[in-house]
Amino acid sequence: MTQRNLKVLIGLLLASAPVASAQTLLDTSAAVSVQNTLNGVGTPNYDACKLAPQYCVGGQAPAQSTASQAAGTPPQAAATTPTPAAAPTPQGAPLPPPAPLTEAQLATLGQAQRALGGGQLAQARTLFERLIAQNYRQAEPHFGLGLTLLSQKDLKGAIFEFTQLTALAPERPEGPYNLGVIATREGRYGEALQLYTQAAALAAGKANAATQRQILEALAAEQVRARDFAGLTNTLTSITALDPNDVDAQFRLAQAQVLAGQGALALPGTYAVLERQPGRVDAALLLADIYVGQNLPDRAIRELDAAAGRVANGSDRATLLIRKANIQAATGDSRTAVFTAQEATREDTRSASAFVRLAELRLVRQDRAGALSAYQKAVQLAPQNAAYRLALATLRLAVGQVADAGRDAAELVRLKPEPPLLAQAQLVQGIAAFRQGQYAQARTALRASAQGTPTADAYLWLGLSAYAMKDYAGAAGALTTSVKLNPTPTARQNLAAALLATTRYAEAEAILRGLVTDDPKNADAWYLLGLAQRSQAREADARVSLKTAADLGNAAARTALK
């Protein structure tokens, strides 16, 4: 797998965090599955009425009037006398088993659960609190109150009740699971990971398959966030064991193995996915990445060719061809890569991204005209894509289409892209204006670019614009900042010129001496050094510097020696 593809795969894994429905046995609002990272396969859709029938009326899950809530345990857990493990006293001495719920208390518990399921949260809270006061060591009222408080967004109160549940019934996964949900909501991701791990261990082999999977999906989401791909591999292995027919889970497992550095081990699972779903583009791309990671690019290309023959539409074939072109380019065969990318644009004539990749590959081949044509097509297909338009404007500036570059950049500014892209667009706009002699417009655009994203280039061109407007002090200030950000010879030399214009001769001389030391053949720097020395009435030194510049071909230096 190339570094670029690895970053994309990780990024998509980290971004795949949709909010799930919470009408299940446990709160799933933060228990997000690790989705298919390439085509966005969604999380499993659990049936609330199967998992928590006590909260369903007439076979329908209740409408939620509050934030996502965690549902309760199956009804038989509430209808029978629970026998949780005894919680230790603060001094460590074991407590006696809790007293069984009386018939009246069981009736109150059922009433409280129905109130919670119906969204009558205030009533549910009152009833659960009454039961806790009557029989504190019974775990079920603490669980119900925790769910109620969680639904009311009283996270502090919910944490307390779920902690009590964990102490009173340490064998139940609901306590650590819902504490994990709250930890995720509050951004305590490391703690959430530990709690989901604990819940998964408690549920393994004891809870039903749907509940186990729900907990494992929450654990997987946190492992993705933590980039614990070895742990994620183990979790997804457990998920596939629960449902061997879930092809998406098998694919996610293969992805996790690749990210964990176990590419070869992911091959059987990836081939199994393709055997059951031959047209899956994401699996074919993953397979190619695995072979690239094994330093077998030719094998990767053959697998992509085989996949291209199995897919049903041009868009999918174009995706496979672009990956093939990337592999060819990475192996140094940029010529063939260009032909492959061209084939991709023929397969999907509406794919702006394919035309952009073609443009990039043509630039590698120094084919600026061809790249320009491809970028123009991409912008035509996706006129609102700021990155594509910026690439077009930048290339136009490079090939001398200055006016067109300025218009493209101005249009991009009107699109109001994200700050980094906006700053780059303003930079291109400013350079284009400068090259057309529109120095005031250039300075306005370049100042905005520098304020948005301070870069050495923005301050360099801002300094040049100020110099052209004879604002030498402003030029010196901008060029000083440019040198601080990136002390290139160009920036240092222009700063020296601005310092000369502001009669800061000694400062200019110091910069110029550094330049001619770094590059003794820099004729322009020798010339400016001679001027700085002459301005300080050191004619002998000045003539030596000017003669050196003249010998290197600087015409102005020859004139200055006369």
Nearest Cα to Cα of residue 111 among 85, 78, 87: 78
What average pLDDT does this structure show over 503-517?
97
Fold for 15-227, please state it.
1.25.40
In terms of CATH architecture, what is 383-453?
Answer: Alpha Horseshoe (1.25)
**The pLDDT of residue 5:** 56
Q: Is 556 exposed, middle or buried (0-12, 13-18, 19+ CB in 10 A)?
A: middle
Q: Hey, what's the torsion of the CAs at 506, 511, 517, 518, to 10 degrees?
A: 180
**The pLDDT of residue 2:** 54
d(CA 525, CA 519): 9
What average pLDDT does this structure show over 22-41?
32
What average pLDDT does this structure show over 288-297?
98
Contacts of 428 (CB under 8 A, 6+ apart): 390, 393, 394, 397, 405, 406, 408, 409
pLDDT band at 562 (very low <50, low <70, confident <90, very high): confident
Q: Please answer whether residues 520 and 514 qualify as being in contact, where contact means their C-beta atoms are separated by less than 8 angstroms.
A: no
pLDDT band at 388 (very low <50, low <70, confident <90, very high): very high
What average pLDDT does this structure show over 25-44?
32
Q: Where in the chain is the domain with CATH 1.25.40.10?
A: 15-227, 383-453, 473-561
pLDDT per residue over 170-205, tens digit each? 999 999 999 999 999 999 999 999 999 999 999 999
The pTM assigned to this predicted structure is 0.78
Which one-letter amino acid corresponds to residue 213? R
What average pLDDT does this structure show over 87-106?
72
**The pLDDT of residue 97:** 83
**The pLDDT of residue 359:** 98
Reply yes or no on whether the pLDDT at 63 is more than 80: no
> What's the chain's average pLDDT?
87
In terms of CATH architecture, what is 473-561?
Answer: Alpha Horseshoe (1.25)
d(CA 458, CA 2): 33
SS (H, E, C) 458-500: HHHHHHHHHHHCCCHHHHHHHHHHHHHHCCCHHHHHHHHHHHH
Q: Please answer whether residues 97 and 120 qualify as being in contact, where contact means their C-beta atoms are separated by less than 8 angstroms.
A: no
> The tokens of 45 are what?
């859709």
Reply yes or no on whether the pLDDT at 93 is more than 70: no
**The pLDDT of residue 94:** 62
Reply yes or no on whether the pLDDT at 561 is more than 50: yes
What average pLDDT does this structure show over 442-455?
98
Instruction: Report the share of the chain in percent with pLDDT over 90.
Output: 82
pLDDT per residue over 419-437, tens digit each? 999 999 999 999 999 999 9
